[in-house]
Amino acid sequence: MKIFKQYLKDPLSTIAVNTTIFIAGCLFFGAIALFGIVSELLNDNEYQDIRQTHIQQHFDEQVKYDEMIKLLDSISKKID
C-alpha cells in the first residue's frame, strides 16, 4: 500500500501510469479488432460460397412453391 500512496501523491506519475494503461488497452482491443477483420477477409470465400448456396436454395424453393400453386389451381379448376 505504501507504493500506492506514493503513486497518488505524485500527479506526473499518476498521469504517466494512467496514460500507459489507456494506450495498452487501446492497442489490445485494436489488435483484437484487427485480428477479427483479417480473419474475416481471409475466410470470405468460404462464407461467400455458403451464401450463394443459401440464396440458390431459396430460389429453388420459390420455384417449387410456384409449381405447387399452379398444380393446386389446376386441381381446383378440375374439381369445379
Instruction: Tell whether 25 and 52 lie within a shared domain.
Output: no
Instruction: Tell whether 38 and 50 lie within a shared domain.
Output: no
Residue 26 sits in which domain range? 1-42
Instruction: Tell whether 49 and 35 lie within a shared domain.
Output: no
∠ CA 24-29-30, nearest 5°, is 95
pTM here is 0.47
Instruction: Tell whether 57 and 33 lie within a shared domain.
Output: no
Instruction: Tell whether 51 and 38 lie within a shared domain.
Output: no
Q: Range with the lowest mean pLDDT among 43-47, 50-54, 68-72, 75-79?
A: 43-47
pLDDT in tens, 13-56: 888 888 999 999 999 999 999 999 888 787 766 666 777 888 88
**Count of domains forming the chain:** 2
- Please state, in angstroms and rounded to a whole number, the distance separating the CA atoms of residues 37 and 61: 34
Instruction: Tell whether 49 and 68 lie within a shared domain.
Output: yes
Instruction: Tell whether 66 and 79 lie within a shared domain.
Output: yes
